[in-house]
Structure 1
Amino acid sequence: MAFRPDSKGMLRFWQLLVLVVILGAWHIATRSQQVAFFFGEPLMVAQRIWSWFVVERDIYVHLGVTLVETLLAFGIGTAAGLGVGLWLALSPLTSAILDPYIKAANSMPRVILAPIFAVWFGLGIWSKVALAVTLVFFIVFFNVYQGVKEVSPVVLANVRMLGANRQQLLRHVYLPSATSWVFSSLHTSVGLAFVGAVVGEYLGSARGVGYLILQAEGTFDINTVFAGIVVLTAAALVLDTLVGSVEKRLMKWQPRTGETEKL
């Protein structure tokens, strides 16, 4: 049977149906206590979230801390990646000199830097921000670098023939070329910013959703662990949606892809 999601309402229906099936399968599977011990129970997870937000209302401080860490890391990492990516893409000699060091830094498991950042910046938010920045930076950097490198030489030659200077090339050629690559990287960077913040909270913190999850793990409270995961996932989806909204506004010039083919 062919299905074509021409209607947004129909598409949302199928998406909701998938969610209902997943939750139903989870609920049925966890009726066994052995399974519930490892995977939690969806109703208990929902009750924990309800208690956090409505009854006890103690999640707001922790979620606020994690969001501040994530947003700071996301902004700093994106700005740094954009600036360094443009700089090296437009400076071939500098790029060639720094190439092995950049590859080495990117290959490093950056989570191991968390204890070092804790020593440098203390156990406050800045050690978590620093760790998350290292995760966001390289994603944005490599996408910007590749986006600038993908500029057509023919376009550059034509613009130079029209008398464009370096600043005009940057504004009207290089930046538009890199923009789509940047937004592509930002969707990935949202999740990585949360990863850096939460991992940092795991290693040393008194606040944050990562701290709540760590405390729950210590008491084998799997339902609270899953509740924390759901809250973090929802927050990441909201931030990703905001990035998508900004992308639509700034990328109006880009032609839209064709309609989805029949399945």
Structure 2
Amino acid sequence: MSTRALQTGINKDWSLHLSRLVVAVCIVAGWEALGQHGADAWISRPGAIAARLWMWSTTDLWMHLGTTLLEMLIGLVIGVPLGALSGLLLGRAPVINRLLRPIIVSVYNIPMIALAPLLILWFGLDLMPKVVLVTIVTYFILFFATFSGSESIDPDLFATLNLMGASRTEQFRKIVLPASTAWIASAMRLALPYALIDATMGEMLAARQGLGFLLTNAISEVDMTGVFATLIILMAIGVAMVVLANRIDRACSGWRAAAK
């Protein structure tokens, strides 16, 4: 690439970032003006929201934030490997697949919002019901992605390695694992945001702490500043989850190339 083309690309990037900044500033300024002229009872205003976030940061915000993140982390740590292993097993074992897949699909079709009250009745109001909810959701996302990946591998690849005398372990390492890792990385792009959604949803139904608990309290008190402050925190976490998922996906791009 020539120096001129590189400079042109850099200038376009700066122009794009500057345009986005201008749009964001205009939105915030318009929002603030609208709130100042009497609409703050319904939409609050950025100044009040920033003040509320600062106040929360000096009190118990970190406890609520840590609770939600912990629920997500534990659920992901359990659900991701279980879903991936189940998908690999059923994808490469036709007999077990025919036996268990209809059951898994039937359970998957139950709306998660319907399971949340049941989990709360079983496990109480603390971390456990939200962890179980996140685990279930991430399990199914990883299961179906890994299952599709392992099932869709070209049989000719296995035939070729069989002719070369490769063992089942070598076949798994050279074919199944690369193909499945690519699908797992793609599934993580869905699992991370859904983990946040389900942890928050569980907290909104019944909890003693967490971001969902903060949001429910603000709604019950018609505290629009608290509602928007919580939504901004959730939005920031969601953006961070998307960035993390994209990095995981890029890190596994080598596996994806090897699987093709």
What's the TM-score bracket when you normalise by the shorter of the two chains? Answer: 0.7 to 0.9
Counterpart amino acid of 2:25?
V
**Larger deviation, residues 221-230 vs 237-246:** 237-246
Shift of 1:186: 0.7
CA distance, structure 1, for counterparts of residue 140 and residue 132 of structure 2: 13
Q: TM-score, normalised on structure 2?
A: 0.86
Question: For the Cα contact (< 8 Å) 2:44–2:224, is it kept in 1?
Answer: yes
Shift of 1:62: 0.9
Q: Which residue of 1 aligns with 2:66?
A: 64
Counterpart amino acid of 1:64?
G
Q: Secondary structure at the match of 1:115?
A: helix
Cα distance change on mapping 1:31 and 1:51 into 2, 3 Å: same
Counterpart amino acid of 1:175?
L
CA distance, structure 2, for counterparts of residue 10 and residue 162 of structure 1: 55
Shift of 1:90: 0.8
Find 2:28's aligned residue among 23, 32, 45: 23
**Larger deviation, residues 82-91 vs 161-170:** 161-170
Find 1:146's aligned residue among 148, 172, 190: 148
User: Deviation digits for residues 156-212 of structure 1, max 9, x if unmatched?
Assistant: 221222222222222221121122221111111111111111111112211111111
Counterpart amino acid of 1:249?
A
Q: Which residue of 1 aligns with 2:91?
A: 89
Identity rate, percent: 29
Q: Which residue of 1 aligns with 2:191?
A: 189
1:39 aligns with 2:39: no
Question: For the Cα contact (< 8 Å) 1:5–1:11, is it kept in 2?
Answer: no
Counterpart amino acid of 2:202?
G
Count of matched residue pairs: 250
CA distance, structure 2, for counterparts of residue 187 and residue 20 of structure 1: 29
Find 1:119's aligned residue among 95, 118, 121: 121
Shift of 1:5: 7.7
CA distance, structure 2, for counterparts of residue 125 and residue 48 of structure 1: 26
Find 2:56's aligned residue among 39, 52, 55: 52
Cα distance change on mapping 1:142 and 1:254 into 2, 3 Å: closer
**Larger deviation, residues 62-71 vs 10-19:** 10-19
Q: Which residue of 2 aligns with 1:157?
A: 159
Shift of 1:237: 2.4
Counterpart amino acid of 2:238?
A
CA distance, structure 1, for counterparts of residue 121 and residue 15 of structure 2: 53
Q: Secondary structure at the match of 1:129?
A: helix
Q: Which residue of 1 aligns with 2:246?
A: 244
Q: Which residue of 1 aligns with 2:133?
A: 131
CA distance, structure 1, for counterparts of residue 155 and residue 249 of structure 2: 26
Cα distance change on mapping 1:78 and 1:31 into 2, 3 Å: same
Question: For the Cα contact (< 8 Å) 1:45–1:226, is it kept in 2?
Answer: yes
5+ residue gaps, structure 1:
256-263
Shift of 1:253: 5.3
CA distance, structure 2, for counterparts of residue 6 and residue 133 of structure 1: 45
- Name the Cα RMSD after superposition: 2.4
Q: Which runs of 4+ in 1 moved over 6 A?
A: 3-6
Question: For the Cα contact (< 8 Å) 2:214–2:230, is it kept in 1?
Answer: yes
CA distance, structure 2, for counterparts of residue 39 and residue 4 of structure 1: 39
Q: TM-score, normalised on structure 1?
A: 0.85
When you count helix as a share of all residues, which structure comes out higher? 2
Q: Which residue of 1 aligns with 2:208?
A: 206
CA distance, structure 1, for counterparts of residue 140 and residue 255 of structure 2: 27
Question: For the Cα contact (< 8 Å) 2:153–2:179, is it kept in 1?
Answer: yes
Question: For the Cα contact (< 8 Å) 1:129–1:196, is it kept in 2?
Answer: no
Q: Secondary structure at the match of 1:220?
A: coil
1:13 aligns with 2:15: no
